Chains A and B, each alone.
Chain A
Amino acid sequence: MKKTVDVSIPLGPMHPCWKEPVRLKCETAGERVLHTEVELGYMKKGIERIMRGRPWQEVMFLAERVCGICSVVHNMVFIEAMELISDIAVPPRAACLRVVANELDRIASHLIANFSYCYTIEHETLAMYLLNTRETVLDNLERLTGSRINTAYMIPGGVRFDLLPEDAATMLADLAKVEEELKRYVRIFETGPLIGLRSRGIGYMSREDAIRAHTVGPTARASGVEDCDLRLRHPTYRALGFEQVTRTEGDNFARVMLRFQEVFQSIDLIRKCVDTLPAGHIRGGGLCRAGEVSYSGEAPRGELTYTIKTDDFGRVLDIAIRTPSIMNIEACAHYMVVNATSIADVTSTFISSDPCIACNER
């Protein structure tokens, strides 16, 4: 059956709004966009194949470099999976420090996602404000781990470095400043009339569609899906009293606002951790043994699953990584931008679902 479209416009690999190369082919009828197809494959490096046969101290760095934005959580999920295989226990101080590093990275990732969105709807002022705030957060991550991105902070049995008391005090002071600035930016975003024109009601995805498309992460929580945050099942987060943030509108506005709310929640979690940091060891030792496990964690974009098989010497025999962007990009292309009003809405909707193409094709 022949399909009649006016023009099929490729939003190509190089685009001012995309940070990574991906091609979106939009089939248009006049100004309306009927349907989009996503073409991937520009970032495929074969990381899982490189990882085969390597010990944990090399696979850890490869796992981090699957995605540079959410690198700390890849590190954490890989190390926790190795600990599950070998029955290694983590001392409580190290578990708290892991949560601190994870949440700092989550704040940085959500700020980059919202920066991307504001840049796409051409509100460069707010975008630059958010990027400036992110610098303070990355400063603190640097004081804790030694580098801003690709930190390599966690090892099986604990963490690498300790948090000094003066760095903890600086971190709390910086986070108070970040929270105050962010309250102003959220007010700007919420009440700005032009932002509202381009975000409210655009890219709507209902709750049933979100469940059918297996969406994960903030994209799903903004459509009202309950119980899809894997931090609810993690023992350290449960002890800190973690609760999932949900919204029901399901459009661009809801997704961006949900990320802001999660940033406030992360700041609270870090404060609780630093205030109640238990004393003790930061490393518990432990050798990696043979076994097989499939473990999931919550990345800033959704559910991240590592399926690992190791041999007697702790080398990785086989590994499969399922990243959240795979599900979210599919949901965006086939459920959110169907019958969009114009191409400008296609770009802003795609960016609001926070795609990470490097995660998508390792």
Chain B
Amino acid sequence: MSILQSIKNAVRSRSIHVSYIDVGSCNGCDIEVLACLAPRYDIEQYGIYVHNNPREADVLLVIGSVTPQWEDKLRNIWEKIPAPKAAIAIGNCPISGCVYARKGSLTTPPVKNYIPIAAEVPGCPPRPTEILSAILSVAPLIFKDYEEKQS
């Protein structure tokens, strides 16, 4: 492993830009992601910066079960994010639809059918401690040796 690659690994695991997208949820998981930003479960101390711009993001947090309006736009936004990228599904909604996966619902879970998901955090909503441990355990692995894997 070359020195350049190890420098890139070190930098990419310590500074992650996150953008979140809400494709039709109840806002519970959204609020728990905001609680992660709060001073108590401070996520910025690990170098993770949450803004809302897909063009500058490394990690996309997907929240919610897919509503009819988002079916085409979700793929568009995923294409806009520059590689290397990863998507993490937060909550039960993107995994299985939570309580909305019944007859008569307008949503079409799971989100896996639309964009590739790297990790899942189950819960309705997952506690900020659970979101933090999931992101921290996945962060150093997803971008490791990205250039060497490409070739």
Residues of A within 8 A of B (CB): 13-16, 19-21, 41-47, 49-50, 52, 58, 61-62, 64-69, 71, 112, 115, 128, 131-132, 134-135, 138, 148-150, 356, 358
Contact = CB atoms under 8 A, between A and B. Distances in A.
A234 to B, nearest CB: 25
A352 B129 CA distance: 30
Interface in B63-81: 64-65, 67-70, 73, 77
Interface of B: 21-32, 34-35, 37-40, 51-54, 64-65, 67-70, 73, 77, 98-100, 102-107, 124-125, 127
A20 B31 CA distance: 11
Given A43-B67, A71-B28, A61 B99 contact: yes
Contacts, number: 116
Contacts of B125: 68, 149-150
Contacts of A138: 35
Dominant secondary structure at the B interface: loop
Contacts of B99: 50, 58, 61-62, 65
Nearest to A359: B27
A349 to B, nearest CB: 20
A214 to B, nearest CB: 24
The 9 closest A-B pairs by CB, nearest first: A68-B28, A46-B106, A131-B38, A68-B27, A65-B26, A49-B104, A16-B52, A68-B26, A149-B28
Q: Which of A13, A45, A46, A134 has the most C-beta atoms of chain B within 10 angstroms of its own C-beta?
A: A45
A47 B52 CA distance: 27
B67 A131 contact: no
14 contacts: A42-B67, A43-B22, A43-B67, A45-B67, A49-B106, A50-B104, A65-B28, A65-B98, A65-B100, A68-B30, A131-B35, A134-B35, A149-B28, A356-B27
Contacts of A44: 24, 67-69, 106
Contacts of B105: 45-46, 49-50
